[in-house]
Structure 1
Amino acid sequence: MIRSADIREWRDQDVVDPKQRKIGMLEAVYVDTATDEPAVATVRTGLPTRRRLIFVPLDDAVVGPGYVKVSYARGHVRKAPSIGTDDVLPAEQEEEIFQHYGMTYRPGAAGERRLARR
């Protein structure tokens, strides 16, 4: 797993899929609030006038020179939940991200958020 301190260095680097196809640029990292480990990244995609941030899990991510390779195909990532470049992730949208990638969503014991931006 990529450590929090390491992943921050890769902001604005290319995010690629397992076949090295570019998905977009790494914008931000969200950590799992239970473990404080990197869990999800936002990837900046789109045309300059129509940019959006797409969410992609960082499980099994690999960092290389100038890129972060995620374990999901570009087409699958581009269909993932997204937000505008100036927006914040609404708490009610967290579960949708996990469902898109076939992952189990478990909010905190008191119902708190599962993801926090770093």
Structure 2
Amino acid sequence: MMTTFDRINELAKKRGIGLRTLAQDAGLGETTIYGWKRRTPDSAKLKAVAKELHVTVDYLLGKTEKEEPVNDTRDMEVEEALNSMRSYQGQPISDEEREVMRGIIKGYLDNKNKK
């Protein structure tokens, strides 16, 4: 099983970015990401790294296998809203239902911004 550090390292390599550079671009100390080999990352720092890598925090944490690209701040906010809602009326929400909700939320926000 890949750790959060492994996922970040793999994505950084795919994008041709060193971990020190990635950390600096995310506003972190140069060796912060290396420390995640031994400890769990702080959520704000992990979010900054996810933003730099254009993926969701869920992907970095191994909660999903899809490298869902995050295009802008609104997309990150939609992801955060979906991440906060794991169940409804005591029933877990499936991945398919999350995708439907993602589309509804994005469609609503896009339509709202056109007015």
| TM-score in terms of structure 2 length | 0.30
Find the structure with the greater CA-based Rg: 2
More helix by share: 2
More strand by share: 1
| TM-score in terms of structure 1 length | 0.29
Higher relative contact order (CA 8 A, sep 6+): 1
